Structures are given as C-alpha cells and as structure tokens.
Amino acid sequence: MLKFKNAHKCLLNALQSKISFFPYFFLFFIYAALIAFKIVLNA
C-alpha cells in the first residue's frame, strides 16, 4: 500500500510537470497500440 501511495505521488508530480511528462505518455500509448495491433493480426 505504501508503494502505491509513493507511485501516486510520483504520478501527481509528473502531472504537475505535464510538459516533460506528456511526450513519454504519448510514446507509451503509441507503443501499446502497436503491440495490440500486432496481437490482433496474429490472432
């Protein structure tokens, strides 16, 4: 539970500094979409 609270605090800090955080979130989203697309094609 303590780890979750720390992660939540880190997430809040990241959201507060959105400018530096957003590009990484965007890249992660694209990466996840590509993986999902690959899985759909293989299925």
Provide the whole-model pTM.
Answer: 0.44
- What is the number of other CB atoms lying within 10 angstroms of the CB of residue 1? 5
Contacting residues for 25 by C-beta, under 8 A, at least 6 apart? none
pLDDT band at 41; cut points 50, 70, 90: very high
pLDDT value of position 35: 93
Q: What is the pLDDT of residues 8-25, one digit of tens each?
A: 787 777 777 765 666 777
